[in-house]
A and B are shown apart, each in its own frame.
Chain A
């Protein structure tokens, strides 16, 4: 749309619509008359032309649906296409039809590769796992990698080394359930006598070199140590592993992770294991700024087992979700034409009862 066209279009609109458009854009717009309003709106639109135009289109689009009851019903039953707005779909995106012409991959290709790897493969640690374990010798380490990458291996190997050096290792998780799973898992790996678990009122094998607890319990131990009552052997503490440390952003409990890290004795190395987050370097830089040695960051976002996204229609029909077999990172709109068609059909059928919001 050229500026002239836009100006013309604005001039054709009733003033009430212009006021609605001006809301949040122009200060004291209700004082302005129509001509003045168009002028200011045009000036303002220069900042974000696309956003402005799309809002305008939405307002124009919903106008007939609102008060004018007169001629509308004549057209309503025939035209199914222009859906009543309310669904969060931008009319601005509507003209991008030609993209659906582009063919997506066939379902058979999408399903290709499904299967089980040959079982004879020996376990070879990934380079990032090796790097994390090596770096832990001299510094704290933050690991931020996708779910299921193998963070536990790093924790286990680092713990093994610390135990061999006669140091105590503490492993914390945010959930009691996860602590219990790890207790079983680690007991199998290291032997039951090497692993203990601490809860609020119980202590099983509290003298073991590898102790499992929730992060709150560890924070309390650090409180007690600060207050003078040493509880566990904090002076021999060599390694603190904080699993699922993205919990630091939990609104209620996040502060406990911060306290634990702040109070962690300097001779103990910190190993933070976290799922993919947007700013792992912030966490690493923070640790560097408060701990004695610079922190090392290990991060990557490629999944070891590739992921494919699909769409399953309630009638049992399966389609790839995107045009490519893999996930098209950065291109949420590259939907597979079949998935797109099926989903639009679904929305049409469930429209009236469907939407909350």
Chain B
């Protein structure tokens, strides 16, 4: 049995049950492409009428987008009535597939889940082969909302009476994720408010600093933070009621008073010998020397049978069963290593402190142990903070011992102090919830002041005035590059190439054209600056190979799309997206024509060359 159904069998099964047209969601682009290849020599061809219908629709789309006229998938699409649709394809090809689907020409489309959101692309049936998707380099289980969005493509209004979402297993499937997704209630969504440098500059351009906090307060982020704060406030109200009986007594703040008194009292009684002889380290380790624990004394090993304190000195001691069968009494300080391993031992009240069978077992197990055991990490607490002298001196001033409410304070203290601690905690959290956005905003202000985009009074400086027009990712890097005159003398190809290496965040390897030496040294400079800005802004990948693709496209205006695609192993769709993003970045530079006329001009020349062929087909 193959781990998943063969694409041809799948289509045959769907046709037989009249479950076409279908969208088949696959885990990767590669899976979609392989599925298409499976039809290469297949005999499940469409009747001529349907083939002609497909040709007719394609012809219309090609008239509008000539770039797809020679698309290698066209023969299979036409012959079998199946297509692939994923991010590796050109937008115009995806439009063609969507158009074919809308006309009901296809039986199936193999797609990745990128299709699930937003593209208008319904079918009678949806085939689900996975229960997780790749999100920022990690596979994550589909959420209920995602499962429903994917399954929801099944059943076209006006064209189907019912829709079908069919699960077919692949090795990557966890059925419970899907059944929960089908039957569950979608998750609540949460704000993802991030404060960016352009946001700060643009807000401060339009509003004085003292109006910013009310604006941030209007965000969904703050709305949700307030919801959480309100929950805590209700808890605070409850606490207040519970605290009622613990109001002021002889002293107004009796809880603090009693706490201090009690602490001092305890410290005094604690000043018995133990403290003097025992280092905090030994005290901490002593807790772990419990029956069954494997320990080492220098080179030999043993199992702890019991722990106790010696009669006179009250020093920490253990009884241990040593390798070879000896039972020894040793000071805890002689233990050189405490392992993270405990053996079974049934304890007994008298020597040897465990049952005879246990001794047997332990001895046997001791010999079987590996030579290296993981050590138990033990935190040594800081020495108990001594009470400040001032308080100790006033010990005599405590009224508590003779106070009429002493008994009440003593018995109420544990509960009252717990409630009050909770109160403090809630008050602090509420404060944090109410002010966190504003703090994050101020952090960004600090950076922008430090770099000179904002005055100490948080007004825009001259640099701030133009920098606020750069509203893309990595804005700080870009504006700093401009201030460093990094693009002085750069030609359109170089400028565009650097912009695309800043915009690209795809780290998939591949083969690419070579960079020119000029571009290589410019990128070196950009990398240095990006690294120096890393405390304030995550550096982009800055791949030279990616930059080289753009450099070629703009450096050589006679280069055709096919020629460009042949120079790299990148998928067409990825090249398109890279250049489209570059276009976006360049057009932001173009808005700086007032302050950086030379750069804006270079950017606009780059845009003009970049927008040709395929890149001219869509707005």
Contact = CB atoms under 8 A, between A and B. Distances in A.
Interface string A164-183: 00000000011111101101
28 contacts: A15-B345, A30-B376, A114-B18, A146-B152, A147-B149, A174-B117, A178-B119, A180-B619, A181-B120, A199-B584, A201-B583, A226-B203, A246-B189, A249-B191, A282-B227, A303-B155, A303-B163, A305-B157, A307-B155, A308-B163, A308-B164, A309-B164, A309-B167, A309-B182, A314-B168, A316-B13, A350-B169, A356-B172
Contact of B13 (A113, A185, A312, A343): A312
A103 B136 CA distance: 43
Interface stretch (B68-76, B244-252, B492-500, B586-594): B586-594
A226 B206 contact: yes
B154 interface: yes
A199 B619 contact: yes
Interface size class of A (residues with CB under 8 A): 35 or more
Given A147-B153, A290-B218, 7 more contacts: A114-B161, A149-B157, A248-B192, A250-B192, A276-B186, A312-B166, A331-B183
A314 B4 contact: yes
A331 B172 CA distance: 23
Contact of A314 (B5, B17, B158, B207): B5
B188 A282 contact: yes
Interface in B258-277: none
Given A174-B118, A227-B206, A220 B471 contact: yes
Given A15-B342, A346-B169, A88 B176 contact: yes
A254 to B, nearest CB: 4
A227 B203 CA distance: 8
Interface stretch (A40-48, A71-79, A322-330): A322-330
Nearest to B340: A30
A311 B580 contact: no
A355 B175 CA distance: 12
A15 B118 contact: no
Contact of A31 (B176, B290, B583, B618): B290
Interface stretch (B49-57, B90-98, B549-557): B90-98
Interface in B131-165: 139, 145, 148-149, 151-165
A7 interface: no
A267 B166 CA distance: 46
B219 interface: yes
B381 interface: no
B2 A314 contact: yes
Contacts of B525: none
Interface of A: 14-16, 19, 28, 30-35, 88, 111, 113-117, 121, 146-150, 173-178, 180-181, 183, 185, 197, 199-202, 204, 216, 220, 223, 226-228, 243-244, 246, 248-252, 254-255, 258-259, 261-262, 275-279, 282-283, 285-286, 289-290, 301, 303-316, 318, 321-322, 327-335, 343, 346, 349-350, 353-356
A318 B1 CA distance: 16
A255 B118 contact: no
Contact of A226 (B122, B202, B288): B202
B347 interface: yes
A258 B221 contact: yes
A202 B607 CA distance: 11
B5 A113 contact: no
Contact of B619 (A14, A116, A197): A197
B428 interface: no
B389 interface: no
B188 A202 contact: no
B508 interface: no
A255 B18 contact: no
Interface size class of B (residues with CB under 8 A): 35 or more
Contacts of A332: 176, 179-180, 182-184
A262 B215 contact: yes
Contacts of A28: 287
A1 B344 CA distance: 25
Contacts of A349: 1
B168 A306 contact: no
Contacts of A258: 191, 193, 219-221
A278 B162 contact: no
B413 to A, nearest CB: 22
Given A226-B205, A303-B155, A277 B191 contact: no
A330 to B, nearest CB: 6
A111 B118 contact: no
Contact of B161 (A117, A199, A262, A356): A117
A15 B189 contact: no
B91 to A, nearest CB: 6
B161 A277 contact: no
Contact of A311 (B139, B166, B347, B619): B166
Contact of B346 (A34, A335, A346): A34
A168 to B, nearest CB: 19
B118 A244 contact: yes
A314 B3 contact: yes
A279 B583 contact: no
B157 A201 contact: no
A139 B287 CA distance: 66
A180 B619 CA distance: 8
A121 B346 CA distance: 80
A38 to B, nearest CB: 13
A134 to B, nearest CB: 21
B432 interface: no
B166 A356 contact: no
A200 B588 contact: yes
A270 to B, nearest CB: 13
Nearest to A15: B344
Most chain A CB neighbours (cut-off 10 Å) among B166, B288, B291: B166
A197 B196 CA distance: 27
Contacts of A311: 166-168
Given A200-B588, A226-B205, A16 B342 contact: yes
Contacts of B586: 201
Contact of B192 (A174, A251, A329): A251
Most chain B CB neighbours (cut-off 10 Å) among A31, A33, A307: A307
Given A116-B159, A304-B157, A356-B139, A16 B619 contact: no
B38 interface: no
A254 B191 contact: yes
A255 B192 CA distance: 6
B224 interface: yes
